[in-house]
Copies of this chain bind each other. A is one copy, B any other.
Amino acid sequence: MARFFVDEFPAEGTEYSLTGENADHARVLRLRPGEEVTLCDGKGTDCPCTVQPGGGLLAGAPVPCPAEPAVRVSVWIAFPKGDKAEHVIQKAVELGAAEIVLFPSRCCVSRPEGKALKNKLERWQKIARSAAEQSRRGIIPPVRAVESYAEALTQAAGAELPILFYENEEKLGLRELLPPGAAAAPKGVSLMTGPEGGFTEEEIARARAAGMRICTLGPRILRCETAPLAGLTAVMYALGEM
């Protein structure tokens, strides 16, 4: 079922016309009269609509979007090389991330700044929007960047359960942090992963001091674009969100 993010819902029983990019998208989809589509306010509420003979959308009553997880997971990734960020952003949105934040770290080869970063963020946000529509999310997860590793640590460590995945950690696993049947599931989780070259030991020490839990993703070494998605999937599974 096609899905469009809109600024404001039409009143129930009134007809609505898609505009801008949504209208372009609808033309590509060749919506037919009688077909059902969903408008979404991007705040977790859906409005089911029926396509009318003239092409307008007849609005039904708003309902909560069933695809939004109860847990808010922020995905923190060090700037990767090439177009890997696009890949991670698209998949993280599908898998239920609340936001994606990029940060520079010691071993980052790519460190976009200024105009280049602004352009990338615009492109990444479009990818997040499109992935949110396709996966039936109730929000468009924001994609943003912070200027330093220090700032990333400060913000990420503010989550109820702040996790940094490190390939040299051998003991602490996600299952220890998210035991099945725990009395209270965390409402906010941050997941931080490094660039191709990994984190330095000094960076890990700083993260630990900032309050991040240093955690393994198991004995198989995951690429920098695989680790955040595997971590996100495992957290969603552990918390009953898939």
Binding site for B on A (CB under 8 A): 66-67, 90-91, 94-96, 134-137, 173-175, 180-181, 217-223, 226, 229-230, 233-234, 236-238, 240-242
A230-B95, A233-B234, A237-B174 known; A135-B67 Cβ under 8 A: no
Q: Which of A217, A219, A226, A234 has the most CB of B within 10 A?
A: A219
Query: CA separation between A129 and B218, bound complex, in Å?
Result: 20
A217-B242, A242-B174, A242-B217 known; A94-B234 Cβ under 8 A: no
Contacts of A94 in B (CB 8 A): 220-223, 226
- CB distance B234 to A237 under 8 Å? yes
The one of B66, B174, B222, B234 that contacts A135, using a Cβ cutoff of 8 Å:
B222
Query: CA separation between A229 and B222, bound complex, in Å?
Result: 13
| Copies of this chain, tallied across the complex | 2
Query: CA separation between A189 and B66, bound complex, in Å?
Result: 29
> Closest residue to A219 on the B side, CB-wise?
B67
Contacts of A136 in B (CB 8 A): 219-221
Contacts of A174 in B (CB 8 A): 237, 242
Top 9 A-B residue pairs of the complex, sorted by shortest distance between their CB atoms: A218-B242, A180-B180, A233-B233, A234-B237, A67-B219, A135-B220, A67-B220, A230-B233, A135-B221
> Closest residue to A131 on the B side, CB-wise?
B223
Query: CA separation between A236 and B238, bound complex, in Å?
Result: 12
Minimum CB–CB distance from A70 to chain B (whole Å) comes to 12
Query: CA separation between A134 and B90, bound complex, in Å?
Result: 24
Query: CA separation between A237 and B136, bound complex, in Å?
Result: 25
Minimum CB–CB distance from A193 to chain B (whole Å) comes to 14
Contacts of A237 in B (CB 8 A): 174-175, 233-234, 237-238
- CB distance A226 to B137 under 8 Å? no
Task: For the A-B complex with A95-B226, A233-B237 known, give 14 more contacts whose Cβ atoms are closer than 8 Å.
Answer: A66-B219, A94-B222, A135-B222, A137-B220, A175-B237, A175-B240, A180-B180, A180-B181, A218-B236, A218-B242, A229-B230, A233-B233, A234-B237, A237-B238
